[in-house]
Structure 1
């Protein structure tokens, strides 16, 4: 049989291809017809858009497209096979499909660039978006492991339509639990019915659903955010996307809901965070006017082309001036051009907050975020740098900066001739002389609902063995007190003192908790504090910098554990940066170049300010 060949689109900016899946027997080869429309004149209820995981691109299967053979991934073939079944209403089945792997000629880079720029409008104009999660049993399910001892079940059954339906019913139940003021008649069982062994399978299957590869995809964020209506298809079963999203939100934040202990201990095991990390409206601290905040929230998603780290989110952000969609240039040049254009346009170094040892791969300057890896710094520092610092300077009385350049604006900014070096004014703050181990709160934790012992051991180790002689600065560094004039987290400090007293004060830490506190209320307060302490500790490490002179206090800070900080690294405040930074001097020469290691928290130095001690620093 002849192989399908694309006919060039009359206009890649005004035309779209669509496919119609032709009806046939269940096991017959999938047959589709393709045709082209002028997208400027699309009528109502014109087409559906498919959101799916491409799957293994090296292993493809044939379908028939316009009477000719066309190769697609096995996952897409499964989706098309199920879409021609009776799982959709007849009027829905009549709507054609837009599918990126079929409707875009992936071998034509010009067409691909043009169509990617239109992705937002394509999904926005679709009657509805179909989310294909796969068949009831998929090869990828093999990586989904359940600790049967924690779940309280003998074994996990393979997926079937019955088990998938039970998981969907459980999702509906959790959605109702999240909205008790608006009960519906969709279900007639209680959440408590799902703690028994014969119903534990539903929890396992819901968790298996959350762990499907679709929830790792980067492109789905845009596909979901702009869709009019999103429908989840799992095998032959369907459920509205908002139901799954609301169920996941409830699992992550049950609030004051009265739940049995058995159910509470299940919640951390389900993987519900995988839903909220791809739903834009469920992400934390997202500002669509700041592309960095969206990049931070999407850092754990996956894409086959690293250039899509930038390109795939352009449809959901307003901050797009510095990104040019061009698949003809290498990823390192895409990232470097974007960083350089952003720094020049804004005249600030806010982009450096997304850098964590970016040059470790050897193909990027250290001041360019390597979006192929997670950012690397702790979440508390990130949230602070993107919100608190900017807000502080917006409200700061003008007399504090009268006659001086704004501390968030760069001075003496320049790039090297090859565009790989960045020079900027900076102030040297000291060198790291002590560095703790990286904290791991979760590995081999017997009970995920009980963090107390692990957190206490980490705090004890940091305060006594790793970072001695920090005095009161230890608590400030641990809790991240960001305000320059008075503590902004006074209640958190009180909670920390109470936690130390309640669990046995860690060595070297003085606490001052009021006596005769009601025990049950205090236990609840302790658990609330541990939830706040967890992101301040997990995957972070504490450091101490050497004194500048004999009269200076010992100063400590916190840095992300995967950035590779070392004893001897230098602490700098860079003009235009939102936080202090750890730099590594590349030679002993007075004007040596530096490599940016990571943004960090440094007690007493968290707000930019002008200084007469600034010198020119070059980052490479």
Structure 2
């Protein structure tokens, strides 16, 4: 982006930049804007733009204060549509805040300062415009018809007016696509359903910054979600989701992030630091620092944005904040050298989650209750929860000291090729096979190479890089059994969590209670 349009902002005054879009009505006219600088407390009413940057290698020229600047294609399409709105035209037009232009992206210090103001920028905006893209005329186009229809029904009846027993059977979405009429009666419209799928699958819902921007938008009726020239409000999306999740039907996809955003709005700044791990598992950012910086407006963290800070130092600072808040349950579920996406070259201790990897862990879905978003293993209590243990602590920067109990070791791996191999093995039920990640269809091939048998003959499954000799342990705050690997006489590497049949867990706990297995301290590095 061209630098001449930028002058240093006065941080003491909390200055920000705002854009006034200009347009003479010609469709082929270049994007032009006048940019002003104003102290935040004295700036005019404005609208804040929430959008996905898109491919930063495909840029479009715009003219700001007479100088050419480069912006991403997605931002350019958004501005071309928004300049048509009466809201942004004429003598009383509203200025617009768009981060790619209003923040000097080449000034690292300014970026850090403006990130600290993001909470105020979005919470104080008169309007927030969430840009979802523009129609292409293809099958991937978004259609807000179902959103408006269901939101209206929800508002009028709170989910009680869908006719037909077929809807109560909670048809799968694929069934509805084949034949929507039994579910929707006179309201059926297959184009609307397809458009609803495309809405749910929009890349907009996958970006870390979007979470904060949605949470901070203060007025649900002035928070607009726009696709081309069509818009719905945040309140309509909430009502749509509530209706779809209601008792009569489950035949349309819910909009991602909306339940999460509702939870965060409800809890305000009291949201604990551990939620960062859950959000980063489903949302990503081009800069790994933004896995944390992109949530500082909604998460309780005493961290100052610094875009020159090494990523591992920032993540270690975040993890220390999690431990300080005392609610660290299942944080280790997001870490481990046994996962295929872990690399020693990244410089991360084995116990520290690499939030920037957006690694997908088993047992996590947007369809799960909110508690599951924060903690992937929230379906059960930690085995050692009933024991009085010393709190984990970080020593010498790279060592996590944590209490646990050593159980047994992995004897062999790659033990199953087909599901039928497990039928005669020591797995208590087909349902438990699912918990272990084992295919439940007889004869189905097990593609993963992480199935193992322990020294005592117990079958289980672990991360992709599980090795013979890895030690099974119960660790403080971890719901599932952990795998550790010896580094040297005093330290261990954390490999990841593993799944066993449920029976050995109870046997291990009974041995711990009898004193046959001792609680000890592990130094993870």
TM-score bracket relative to the smaller structure: 0.7 to 0.9
TM-score, structure 2 as length reference: 0.76
Q: 1:214 aligns with which of 189, 204, 208?
A: 204
- Which residue is equivalent to 1:489? none
On the 8 A contact 1:349/1:576 being kept in 2, the answer is: yes
* 1:469 lines up with 2:454 in the alignment: no
Q: Give the drift of 1:421.
A: 3.1
Alpha-carbon distance in 2 for matches of 1:471, 1:214: 42
On the 8 A contact 2:281/2:358 being kept in 1, the answer is: yes
Q: 1:329 aligns with which of 296, 309, 318?
A: 309
- Which residue is equivalent to 1:72? 71
Q: Give the drift of 1:200.
A: 2.3
Q: Give the drift of 1:278.
A: 6.3
* 1:55 lines up with 2:54 in the alignment: yes
- Which residue is equivalent to 1:295? 277
Mark the runs of 5 or more structure 1 residues left unpaired by the alignment: 139-155, 440-457, 481-499, 508-536, 548-553
Q: 2:263 aligns with which of 253, 264, 281?
A: 281
SS in 2 for 1:129: strand
- Which residue is equivalent to 2:349? 365
On the 8 A contact 1:343/1:349 being kept in 2, the answer is: no
SS in 1 for 2:342: helix
Q: Give the drift of 1:343.
A: 4.0
Deviations, residues 54-80 of structure 1 (Å, cap 9, x unaligned): 122222222111122222112212211
Within a 5 Å distance, the mapping from 1:400-415 to structure 2 comes to 406-407=388-389, 409-410=391-392, 413=393, 415=395
Go from structure 1 to structure 2 and tell me whether the alpha carbon gap of 1:201 and 1:301 turns closer, same or farther (over 3 Å shift).
same
Q: 1:310 aligns with which of 257, 268, 292?
A: 292
- Which residue is equivalent to 2:361? 376
Alpha-carbon distance in 2 for matches of 1:314, 1:48: 21
- Which residue is equivalent to 1:580? 481
Q: Give the drift of 1:422.
A: 3.1
* 1:255 lines up with 2:280 in the alignment: no
Deviations, residues 182-238 of structure 1 (Å, cap 9, x unaligned): 599xxxx9933465xxx4233223323333322222111111111023101211122
Alpha-carbon distance in 2 for matches of 1:607, 1:469: 19
Alpha-carbon distance in 1 for matches of 2:74, 2:466: 42
* 1:432 lines up with 2:410 in the alignment: yes
On the 8 A contact 2:54/2:73 being kept in 1, the answer is: yes
Alpha-carbon distance in 1 for matches of 2:310, 2:407: 37
* 1:22 lines up with 2:22 in the alignment: yes
- Which residue is equivalent to 2:84? 85
Q: Give the drift of 1:14.
A: 1.5
Alpha-carbon distance in 1 for matches of 2:56, 2:323: 37
Alpha-carbon distance in 2 for matches of 1:200, 1:348: 45
* Higher alpha-carbon Rg: 1
Alpha-carbon distance in 1 for matches of 2:454, 2:28: 68
Alpha-carbon distance in 2 for matches of 1:9, 1:593: 48
* 1:129 lines up with 2:159 in the alignment: no
Count the aligned residue pairs: 475
Q: Give the drift of 1:290.
A: 2.5
SS in 2 for 1:246: helix
Go from structure 1 to structure 2 and tell me whether the alpha carbon gap of 1:116 and 1:387 turns closer, same or farther (over 3 Å shift).
farther
Go from structure 1 to structure 2 and tell me whether the alpha carbon gap of 1:539 and 1:137 turns closer, same or farther (over 3 Å shift).
farther
Within a 5 Å distance, the mapping from 1:382-461 to structure 2 comes to 383=375, 389=381, 406-407=388-389, 409-410=391-392, 413=393, 415-416=395-396, 419-433=397-411, 461=420
* 1:174 lines up with 2:75 in the alignment: no
Go from structure 1 to structure 2 and tell me whether the alpha carbon gap of 1:234 and 1:478 turns closer, same or farther (over 3 Å shift).
closer
Go from structure 1 to structure 2 and tell me whether the alpha carbon gap of 1:384 and 1:13 turns closer, same or farther (over 3 Å shift).
same
- Which residue is equivalent to 1:516? none
On the 8 A contact 2:208/2:291 being kept in 1, the answer is: yes
Between stretches 325-334 and 574-583, larger displacement belongs to: 574-583
On the 8 A contact 1:79/1:134 being kept in 2, the answer is: yes
Deviations, residues 551-605 of structure 1 (Å, cap 9, x unaligned): xxx656665xx5533443211123465543111234xx6x264221113455436
TM-score, structure 1 as length reference: 0.65
Deviations, residues 26-62 of structure 1 (Å, cap 9, x unaligned): 321121111111112346xx11100111122222222
Alpha-carbon distance in 2 for matches of 1:408, 1:294: 24
- Which residue is equivalent to 2:496? 598
Q: Give the drift of 1:11.
A: 2.2
SS in 1 for 2:208: coil
Go from structure 1 to structure 2 and tell me whether the alpha carbon gap of 1:129 and 1:571 turns closer, same or farther (over 3 Å shift).
same
* 1:546 lines up with 2:455 in the alignment: yes
Alpha-carbon distance in 1 for matches of 2:82, 2:97: 13
Mark the runs of 5 or more structure 2 residues left unpaired by the alignment: 161-180
SS in 2 for 1:596: strand
SS in 1 for 2:226: strand
Go from structure 1 to structure 2 and tell me whether the alpha carbon gap of 1:298 and 1:555 turns closer, same or farther (over 3 Å shift).
same
